[in-house]
């Protein structure tokens, strides 16, 4: 396999090709052209078209790599390497003409993400990271914030869209944070939220009921930018998105303790 930094450059080109397609289609997209996968879980021909472009572009980069992609365009699984793809993270935003929405691509070696790219579709920002290589925004090194306490933090989160069994403690947690931080933001794209934690715009992000393709690239971005990434119990291994907490390394213990007190980690 090629050098990871060079590989990230190739991944970025794949992401930009898919972004060009998304932008072209957004000009004429009709919300009626939407399929419903489940309650508030939508997919469009744009998601599927973006995924096909990504698979076509990424396949030659590592011949034996498989794919774990949101829309299931490829069923190929690799013994060692697998691409983790969200071809349009923020589909609901896209449906309504609201930004941001993004393309998220991670490369997993065995059970470890070793390269990641988050590209805002139609935007000017591309976030990249590779194992032991740091995190970058448009070629500039980025780091998580140095905010020293939760009281000075800007918090990002996402609302559950079809799994509401933990909604009551989640809303209680939000109320707690709204009154004890600089504020809470909800952008509608987890990969962008995580990228913003990596570059210090947000001090922390948490959400439950995400999927591996939502977090793979963002997880590496946060960690390579000097941040912490875990589930709600502090576990850092084998994460799939069921519970996601990312923050700078300074406020991590403080927010983890609060989340554990409200959300009862592991209860699903």
Last residue of a domain, which of 114, 142, 170? 142
Same domain, 157 and 123: no
Q: Is residue 224 part of a domain?
A: yes
Lowest mean pLDDT among 49-53, 76-80, 147-151: 76-80
Q: Which residue has the higher pLDDT, 10 or 91?
A: 10
- The proportion of the chain whose per-residue pLDDT surpasses 90, expressed as a percent, equals 79
Q: Is residue 268 part of a domain?
A: no
Q: Is residue 198 part of a domain?
A: yes
Q: Is residue 103 part of a domain?
A: yes
Same domain, 129 and 26: yes
Contact 189, 93 (CB under 8 A): yes
User: What is the C-alpha to C-alpha distance for residues 91 and 47, in angstroms, rounded to an integer?
Assistant: 8
Confidence of residue 72 (pLDDT cuts 50, 70, 90): confident
User: What is the C-alpha to C-alpha distance for residues 263 and 136, in angstroms, rounded to an integer?
Assistant: 32
Q: Which residue has the higher pLDDT, 58 or 71?
A: 58
Query: What's the pLDDT score for residue 40?
Result: 38
Question: Is the model's pLDDT at 164 over the cut of 90?
Answer: no
Same domain, 84 and 120: yes
CATH of the domain at 63: 3.30.540.10
Same domain, 171 and 93: no
| C-beta atoms surrounding 156 within 10 Å | 25
Question: Is the model's pLDDT at 268 over the cut of 60?
Answer: no
Last residue of a domain, which of 142, 167, 193? 142
Query: What's the pLDDT score for residue 36?
Result: 61
Query: What's the pLDDT score for residue 74?
Result: 76
Convert the pLDDT of each residue in 205-245 to its tens digit.
999 999 999 999 999 999 999 999 999 999 999 999 999 99
Same domain, 99 and 165: no
Token pair for residue 208?
Answer: 């439950």
Question: Is the model's pLDDT at 250 over the cut of 50?
Answer: yes
Q: Is residue 167 part of a domain?
A: yes
Same domain, 201 and 97: no
Convert the pLDDT of each residue in 1-60 to its tens digit.
569 999 999 999 999 999 999 999 888 877 776 766 544 345 688 889 999 999 999 999
Same domain, 135 and 176: no
Same domain, 162 and 257: yes
Last residue of a domain, which of 142, 161, 192? 142
Tell me the residue range of the domain where 72 lies: 4-142
Query: What's the pLDDT score for residue 200?
Result: 98
Query: What's the pLDDT score for residue 252?
Result: 98
Same domain, 163 and 132: no
Query: What's the pLDDT score for residue 41?
Result: 45
Q: For strand 34-38 and strand 81-89, is the pairing parallel, antiparallel, or unpaired?
A: unpaired
pTM, two decimal places: 0.93
Q: Is residue 217 part of a domain?
A: yes
Same domain, 99 and 156: no
CATH of the domain at 171: 3.40.190.80
Convert the pLDDT of each residue in 185-202 to its tens digit.
999 999 999 999 999 999
Same domain, 38 and 124: yes
Q: Is residue 42 part of a domain?
A: yes
Confidence of residue 67 (pLDDT cuts 50, 70, 90): very high
Q: How many domains does the chain have?
A: 2
- Per the prediction, the chain carries an average pLDDT of 92
Task: Please list, residue by residue across 23-54, b when 16 or more beta carbons sit within 10 angstroms of its beta carbon and e when fewer do.
Answer: eebeeebeeeebeeeeeeebbbebbbbbbbbb
């Amino acid at each position: 396999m090629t050098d990871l930094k060079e590989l990230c450059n190739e991944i970025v080109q794949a992401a930009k090709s898919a972004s060009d397609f998304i932008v072209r289609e957004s000009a004429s997209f009709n919300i009626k052209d939407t399929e419903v996968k489940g309650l508030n879980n939508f997919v469009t021909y744009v998601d599927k078209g973006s995924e096909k472009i990504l698979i076509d572009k990424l396949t030659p980069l590592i011949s034996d790599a498989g794919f774990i992609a949101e829309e299931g365009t490829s069923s190929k699984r690799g013994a060692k390497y697998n691409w983790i793809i969200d071809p349009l993270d923020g589909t609901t935003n896209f449906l309504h003409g609201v930004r941001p929405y993004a393309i998220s691509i991670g490369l997993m070696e065995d059970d470890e993400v070793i390269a990641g790219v988050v590209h805002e579709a139609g935007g000017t920002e591309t976030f990249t990271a590779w194992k032991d290589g740091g995190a970058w925004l448009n070629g500039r090194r980025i780091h998580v914030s140095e905010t020293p306490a939760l009281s000075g933090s800007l918090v990002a989160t996402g609302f559950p869209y079809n799994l509401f069994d933990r909604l009551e403690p989640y809303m209680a947690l939000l109320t707690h944070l709204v009154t004890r931080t600089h504020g809470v933001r909800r952008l509608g794209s987890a990969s962008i939220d995580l990228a913003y934690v990596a570059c210090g715009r947000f001090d922390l992000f948490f959400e439950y009921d995400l999927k591996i393709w939502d977090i793979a690239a963002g997880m590496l971005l946060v960690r390579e930018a000097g941040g912490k990434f875990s589930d709600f119990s502090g576990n850092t291994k084998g994460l799939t998105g069921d519970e996601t907490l990312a923050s700078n390394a300074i406020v991590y213990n403080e927010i983890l303790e609060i989340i554990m007190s409200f959300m009862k980690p592991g209860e699903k």
